[in-house]
Amino acid sequence: MGMMLPLLFGLVVAFCVALYVIADGFDLGIGILFLLAPSDADRDLMMNSVAPVWDGNETWLVFGGTLLIGAFPFAYGTILPALYLPLVLMLFGLIFRGVAFEYRFRATHARRAWDWAFCGGSVLATFMQGVALGAYIDGIPVQNRGLVAEFSPWGGFSTATGLGLLAGYALLGATWLVFKTTGTTQTFGRRAARLSLLLSLFFLLVISVWTPLTHPAVAERWFSAPRIFYLWLPPAANLFAAFGIWHKLKQGRELAPFLLSIALFLLALLGLGISLWPYAIPYSVTLWQAAASTATLEFLGVGVAVILPITLLYLGYAYWVFRGKASSGPGYGH
């Protein structure tokens, strides 16, 4: 059981990260696209479409971060200092968009300034998440159980992942608009979805090629026999999902493009998990080396078993209550 607990907690942390990427991804995507909307009325509708759920979406960021502290304290203590600057800038972006969310509908003369704050905060938060992800994938060198001082999160690869995440979140936001809105806002969402899909695929290809070229261990994981005969399935499914998004948009479907965009992200995260397994800190510290004691994990497991289902039920109920198309007008009404 002691060997299984770090694996189980690693899966729970990955589950929280995946839910955060999907849930907060589409409302950050709304912010990325915000200034490109055709009119102020469209921006009102875009904001109304995520108003009831956007703050609940960030629950998974807190949940996952808290689990990382408790279950993998060494990983947390190493990753946070290594990625301190991009993560702090990400938090500033989230603060800007959160304040803009509350102030925009009540502003008169400064309304356009809050539009910029909402969009700028969303872009900053997303790009910094991508930079942090890229630096993490690129590997955080650890020596004598401490961070090597020469490490820097800034570079070409982390910039590519930052831009790729901007495109990916824009895709989620655009397909959410197709699903939740009508009229000119939905038409705008369809146009934005096509462009953001192409950009997402481009950056996904760049990152997928760049990673094994610079990390032989990742290349061996994907291309050595017998793995090469079955690990082609996730990339193939990704291409199938991308084709499905384009085809469903062309057909005029509303829900299917959003669900397929979620599938695209989940498959990309699956590919990332395959590349990085079994490391908590790539490519030096495994899940078992980074994990807390068995007693600590058992204690945390009781709390997770209680809190996780309650959180899922509550947020699921919130989405059910606010199902259907978003309505226009000032305020947070549906």
Q: What is the pLDDT of residues 218-259, one digit of tens each?
A: 888 888 878 887 888 888 999 999 999 999 999 999 999 999
- CA atoms of 311 and 306, how far apart (whole Å): 9
Do residues 261 and 175 make contact, with C-beta atoms less than 8 angstroms apart?
A: yes
Q: pLDDT per residue over 71-89, tens digit each?
A: 999 999 888 888 999 999 9
Domain contains 334:
no
Least confident of 45-59, 134-148, 224-238: 134-148
Domain contains 141:
yes
Domain contains 328:
no
- Stretch 182-209: mean pLDDT: 94
- Please provide the average confidence, as pLDDT, over all residues in the chain: 89
Domain contains 277:
yes
- CA atoms of 253 and 202, how far apart (whole Å): 24
Domain contains 200:
yes
In degrees rounded to 5, what are phi and psi of residue 75?
Answer: -60, -45
- Stretch 207-227: mean pLDDT: 87
What pTM value is reported for the model? 0.93
Q: pLDDT per residue over 157-172, tens digit each?
A: 999 999 999 999 999 9
Instruction: Give residue 14's domain range.
Output: 4-321
Q: pLDDT per residue over 271-281, tens digit each?
A: 999 999 899 98
pLDDT at 55 over 60: yes
What CATH number should be reported for the domain holding residue 10? 1.20.1630.10
Q: What's the pLDDT band for 101 if we cut at 50, 70, 90?
A: confident
Q: What's the pLDDT band for 105 if we cut at 50, 70, 90?
A: confident
Give the chain's domain count: 1
Domain contains 218:
yes
